[in-house]
A and B are shown apart, each in its own frame.
Chain A
Amino acid sequence: MRATALAIILGLAACDRGAPPPALPRPVATVLPPPAPAAPALLSSADVDARLRVEWQKAGVTPTPPASDATWLRRVWLDVLGTIPPPEVARRFLADTSADRRARMIDELLASPLWADHWTEYWDDTWMGREARAPIVDRGAFRAWLHDVLARNVPWNEVVTQLVTASGVNSEGGPKKEAYANEGKVGEPAGVNGAVNWTLRYLQNPQDMAGSASRTLLGVQIQCAQCHDHKTEKWKQTDFQSFAAAFVRTRLVPLDRGKDMADVKRVEVRDLDRPAPRFAKMGDLDAVMKARPTALDGTDLTTSPDGVRAALARWITGRDNPWFARALVNRMWGHFTGRGFVDPVDDLRPANPPAAPALLDALAADFVAGGYDVKHLVKVIAGTEAYGLSAAPLAEATAKSDPEVKLWERFRVTPLGPEELLNALVSATKLDAIVRATGRMDLAQIRYRVRQRYGFLFDVDEESDAGDYEGTISQALALLDGGVTTAGASVLPGSALADIMATPGDDAAKLESLYLRVLSRLPGKDELERWTAYVADAPSTPAPAPVMRKGKKGGKGQQPDPLRRLEERTAVEKGSARVHAYEDVLWALLNSSEFVLNH
């Protein structure tokens, strides 16, 4: 999933007064200036282009032509910031004829406060997954930590070191807190280190932690060796056990004294110089408990005075670690282009060789030389010719076909992740303003509810390279009939459509505003003609009286479902045939493949 939680709110705030969007006040630590610019002589997008053209030539494949500015703009907003561009940005960019307009847009995105929001979602999902919701885990605090390091663009080796060696106090979590954490309403008490929640997530599963660390930090799938010696790779079960042994040396000190253990939610994580006794009871951990903590290349992790976890972090992030820089470069390249050099992105191994290995190596070396600067890496990737290519395949006659597009000679189309889709929907409809205008509802609650109700529905496998669209009936229904599209496509006060209808101008002007807002492009001539006729021909009889949906007003002790209230709000709104026709057009845009896919 590629996502950002509340980018939309920021994005829309920006729409109201012109980009770039302002920073949302954050309860987290003071924002420090970004680190000093890295050493010179780093790779540029042009360097990458030159290398890729050689690869294309060698393989005899023809790249597609560049994507249009509008397509590229939407793409780069989704991939860098997790949402679609506000209409003013689209209008400004499409009018820009300067040669460096794309490069300047990338700089604008890298400086946006939405950057940290989006990548907080991304890494929270990667490291904490969907299911890490135990009472002892406070995802809000974890996200606050992530947001802080991402907003400051802390070098990647330092981020990973903080994660792996995290010590200190967590804070109380729970779903209610989570509902608000995304919206910045919950501050973390002083002295809390949110990073410890990654360790707390694996309270009972140090083997899973070892597997997750090697997969997400190094792109290495060691965990198969948890159960058996690897059949094709060099890892033995004993290698896994020795690596996992580095993850059992933390102790948890409960802070809520006087409570039953079952009620303890706040703990302090500390290093321990021996395997933690809490794992001793779990019979299947005997081998891990007895093993000597050892890195995947055989480095002994027990010899440093500052402990096993510090040694582990040093080894992971070391300049001579063969995986660390490659794993992050490969992951980012895969995020932007739809396919990593190594595919899947977290499966680096000899039997799964990369495409264009020299380019991967060059980017990885550059990442190290530049001081592990993720923004620099993103700037290089987003500025490449390959990232800016059209997604439409060339005709068979003119191009040698490579159905798997292994060399990025054409942009790979992927469905938006759940958060991206939600962000895009809110941005396109101003759902937040609709909610505000009702005066009684809370967007945070609605977003939480939507996430609960629809999050899993739109869970797409980013690494799946199936050519077909894989979607579910529930997903389609949510877009066809669900509260977000229904309310969003209506002329409720505050909505994008209400604004557009209230702005003077003919149908062409209204359609242009609608297209810029929803699809980040201008409508084609054929579309202007079609929709103008559609609006003119709309049945003059008003739509039938809306029927209130049956629904419980909330059971005992339950809050009434805010999403349902929103749907009911839509039901009492009446409009002319012309307004209904516009609602229908917006509805069609929101349901279109062009909207739902990153293309």
Chain B
Amino acid sequence: MSHDDFSRRAMLRLGTSAVFGSLVARWLDPRLAFAAEAPKPKAQACILLWLNGGPSHIDTFDPKPGRATGGPFKAIKTRAPGMMLSEHLPHLAERGDKLAVVRSMSSKEGNHVRAQYFVHTGYAPNPTVVHPSLGGWTSARLGDAQAELPAFVSIGGPSFGAGFLGVQNGPFVLPKGGAPPLDVALPAGVDRARFDRRRAALDAMEDRFSKETGEPKVEGRRQVYAKAVRLMQAPKLDAFDLASESDTTKKAYGDSDFGRGCLVARRLVERGVKFVEVVLDGWDTHKDDFGRTEKLMAQLDPAFAALLDDLGARRLGGSTLVACMGEFGRTPKINANDGRDHWPQAWSAVLSGGGIRGAQVLGATDDEGGKVAGPATSVPDLLATMSSLMGLDPAHSEMTPVGRPISVTDGGAPVHALLG
């Protein structure tokens, strides 16, 4: 067995095994070997507000009032000099000093599935390997396998998994914010004593099968089950329950699944969860773009703003990176259905906290909002910026099952202008 062969297999296997946890933790600790030019990691956690379907940049973060392509919304001033946002984002405008709005995002992926994959993983889809999402990388390299709560939680959607880093680093999925996770409560009619008896019965089955077959997967399953039971009984499970939050707080986030999801995200980050994605779906506005985008902004605006306030009040703003984006932008041209179609050529992403310098607009689009004026920001560059703030060196690579080293993004480099 060649050395390379050994290391790639060992890497993959050890990465999944708690037995070698400490050894691997050191091996994988990115802080030990960080490329010189990468920024210092400042974020302990990342919250990704995912605007599924591809929001119209022109109607949200890159307004073009008065232009033929601008639509009916007015632009309003923000706390950041020169930064204008849609009139339907008044709460965020108030917090413009905390935001970095990247208006020069540009990609080639105009198909939902491909673009969602690209923006989550930093790679265009390629059937030879499944690339890990940023959440997956975070779980694999920064997560604590012994923690009560999973390192990567997705609220309101399945998100994207950890690819070749293994399903155990994929997201723990919560169907929607404010609801308890599926299946953590004991089934009706089964109390703790009966559950323990059941587990003892299961142990007997496992012992016998393991002895008979020598199958190593049995031990792997035992570990996963132990984790699941730990989660069922975890004191930190209260993160998912919003009952202890005041009405004022709940109201600030807004009465929506997305708002409750953002509040849960804050509670998870407080309890040490490393990566939380909260999904707001419905931005694929081929029809009635303005009506629908306005309604979606009415959910996004208070939730995003309250999240920033809350993190700030808890002194978590500096160590929590908040990112907000979808898979692409939408056409400047307004179609016959009052809608806008897919537009990956130019779109916006918003970053805040966790080492991001606020009160800035990076890049710009032309007058119509159709092309990036000046240098464009690529998806890999954006993700590399986020990953390096998290302490994941974008230059670090890991061996895939097909024997090819893969780094966190497809050649992305941190955008220094975004850093504080």
Contact = CB atoms under 8 A, between A and B. Distances in A.
Interface stretch (B63-71, B109-117, B273-281): B109-117
A549 interface: yes
Interface string B322-336: 000000000000001
Contact of B189 (A457, A527, A570): A570
Interface string B174-194: 010000011111111111011
B188 A223 contact: no
A584 B184 contact: no
Nearest to B173: A474
B231 interface: yes
A478 B224 CA distance: 12
Max chain B Cβ within 10 angstroms of own Cβ: one of A464, A539, A543, A593:
A593
A317 interface: no
A570 B188 contact: yes
Contacts of A456: 158, 173
A392 B212 contact: yes
Contacts of B198: 584, 587-588
Interface stretch (B85-93, B200-208, B355-363, B373-381): B200-208
Interface in A417-475: 453, 456-457, 459-461, 464-475
A597 B128 CA distance: 26
Given A284-B108, A473-B231, A593 B188 contact: no
A166 to B, nearest CB: 21
Residue of B175, B187, B205, B214 with most chain A CB atoms under a 10 A cut-off: B187
A549 B185 contact: yes
B153 to A, nearest CB: 11
Contacts of A524: 208
Contacts of A457: 173
Interface string B283-299: 00011000000000000
Given A477-B182, A480-B183, A592 B167 contact: no
Nearest to A471: B224
Given A211-B127, A470-B167, A546-B188, A477 B201 contact: no
A469 B221 contact: yes
Contacts of A211: 127
A394 to B, nearest CB: 9
A585 B205 CA distance: 10
Nearest to A595: B205
A593 B218 contact: yes
Contacts of A571: 187-189
A260 interface: yes
Contacts of B185: 481, 549
B201 A584 contact: yes
B191 A543 contact: yes
A472 B189 contact: no
Nearest to B14: A468
A369 interface: no
A239 to B, nearest CB: 16
Most A-side CB within 10 Å, residue of B13, B125, B217, B225: B217
A465 B219 CA distance: 16
Contacts of B313: none
B251 interface: no
A468 B16 contact: yes
B234 to A, nearest CB: 11
A599 B213 contact: yes
B327 to A, nearest CB: 13
Nearest to B16: A468
A468 B215 contact: no
A593 B172 contact: no
B244 interface: no
B13 A466 contact: yes
A585 B166 CA distance: 31
A526 B193 CA distance: 24
B168 interface: yes
A205 interface: yes
Contact-size category for A = 35 or more
A392 B215 contact: yes
B236 interface: no
Interface string A515-528: 00000000010110
A304 interface: no
Contacts of B168: 470-472
B111 A472 contact: no
B394 interface: no
Contact of A476 (B173, B188, B214, B227): B227
Contact of A471 (B124, B167, B172): B167
A415 B188 contact: no
A467 B225 CA distance: 18
Given A260-B337, A473-B150, A593-B209, A392 B214 contact: yes
Nearest to B209: A594
A241 B194 CA distance: 62
Given A131-B113, A470-B168, A472-B224, A592 B206 contact: yes
Contacts of A480: 183, 225, 228-229, 232
A481 B337 CA distance: 47
A477 B231 contact: yes
B166 A466 contact: yes
Interface string A532-565: 0010000100011011110000000000000000
B220 interface: yes
B217 A223 contact: no
A17 interface: no
Contact of A223 (B127, B186, B191): B127
A469 B188 contact: no
A571 B191 CA distance: 12
Contact of A526 (B208, B216, B228): B208
B255 to A, nearest CB: 13
B397 interface: no
Contact of B208 (A482, A527, A596): A527
Chain B CB count within 10 A is highest, among A393, A468, A530, A571, for A468
Nearest to A542: B189
Given A476-B225, A486-B187, A470 B16 contact: yes
Contacts of B173: 456-457, 474
B17 interface: yes
A548 B188 CA distance: 6
B201 A534 contact: yes
Contacts of A587: 198, 201-202
A473 B194 contact: no
Contacts of A527: 208
Given A546-B189, A592-B206, A262 B220 contact: no
A63 to B, nearest CB: 16
Interface in A377-410: 391-393
A359 interface: no
A584 B197 contact: yes
A568 interface: yes
B144 to A, nearest CB: 14
Contact of A212 (B127, B172, B186, B188): B127
A510 to B, nearest CB: 15
A570 B186 CA distance: 13
A478 B202 contact: no
B201 A453 contact: no
A567 B224 contact: no
A594 B216 contact: no
B2 interface: no
B146 interface: no
Contacts of B33: none
A256 interface: no
Given A469-B219, A570-B188, 15 more contacts: A205-B111, A212-B127, A221-B127, A392-B212, A415-B217, A461-B130, A468-B17, A468-B216, A470-B220, A481-B184, A530-B204, A543-B194, A549-B185, A588-B205, A593-B209
19 contacts: A205-B111, A260-B336, A262-B287, A459-B167, A467-B216, A470-B220, A471-B221, A473-B231, A477-B181, A480-B232, A482-B182, A549-B185, A584-B198, A585-B201, A587-B202, A588-B201, A592-B202, A593-B209, A593-B210
The 8 A-B residue pairs whose C-beta atoms are closest, nearest first, are A469-B220, A571-B188, A476-B228, A469-B217, A588-B201, A486-B187, A477-B183, A592-B205
